[in-house]
Amino acid sequence: MSERPIRRPRKRSQKSIGLIGLGAFGRLIAAHLGAHFPILGYDPIVTGEIKGVTLRPLAEVAACDAVILATPVPQLSAVIAAISPYLRPGALVLDVGSVKVIPAQIMLAELPDHVDIVGTHPMFGPQSARGGVKGLKIVLCPIRGRHVRPLAAFLRNTFGLDAIIATPEAHDRDAAMVQGLTHLIAKVLVEMEPLPRQMTTASFDLIFRAIEMVRYDAPEVFYAIERMNPYAPDVRRRFFALAAELAEQLEQNGESKKSDPIETAG
């Protein structure tokens, strides 16, 4: 009697990631995920080699197990229309935009019903992640499917990220102030340059560090944060109104009536 050959369990093929958009943030994604997954990338204006990414046609990139849309929010609809015919059933589609309500609405309405969707916002960029991403924050917004909790666990365990699960509305309400004001103040201070570099206080150094973290963001990032977050206009109006009120008080010396400085000192 001949012996039956031993059947070994088949190795499960590794999940593939398709990365659409290979700008500064797309490359940051590839630098960290490339050690864990094969990454196929597509960008219409990128032709050179990118570490950790294999450049392939759009159709092949869109057919991966997970597809990350690292493109500006205003281009989201056009990108979805281009990739939809190639998305496989059960695939996970994620965006990485700085706002979440509008992208969530677009993806839910325009992506095929057979894919799952998670909106993400890494609360950092290439500048703030130069020393690594451990301890930095990323927001995950469940839109369709059940991937959000396993994804959050993977990001925490693999990269040490602080993964926060929130609705798109909760994200945008907080981001309108957290990011909206940061970028707004940085934009104004950059216009006031040159800024002091030598005789500074610790608090001013922190402000300067904040400016440097967002100074080189693409214009599309500023546009999305300030114009595509539905909660940003109210925050801006409140900020400018309070700033104007404070300016008026300072012009009037902050006093309803003038007092004798000698009498006050006595």
What type of residue sits at position 42?
Y
User: Beta strands 66-69 and 17-20: pairing type?
Assistant: parallel
Q: Do residues 83 and 36 both lie within one domain?
A: yes
Q: What is the pLDDT of residues 80-101, one digit of tens each?
A: 999 999 999 999 999 999 999 9
Where among 143, 167, 191 does a domain terminate?
Answer: 167
CA–CA separation, 40 and 176 (whole Å) = 33
Q: Do residues 130 and 79 both lie within one domain?
A: yes
Q: How confident is the model at residue 138 (pLDDT cuts 50, 70, 90)?
A: very high
Domain span at residue 193 reads 176-251
CA–CA separation, 248 and 32 (whole Å) = 49
Span 52-79, average pLDDT: 96
Report the run of H or E that residue 207 belongs to, with start and end.
helix 202-214
Where among 136, 167, 198 does a domain terminate?
Answer: 167
pTM to 2 decimal places: 0.85
Q: Do residues 117 and 140 both lie within one domain?
A: yes
Q: Do residues 220 and 134 both lie within one domain?
A: no
Q: What is the pLDDT of residues 222-239, one digit of tens each?
A: 999 999 999 999 999 999
DSSP string of 9-42?
PPPPPPP-EEEE--SHHHHHHHHHHTTTS-EEEE
Q: Do residues 31 and 158 both lie within one domain?
A: yes
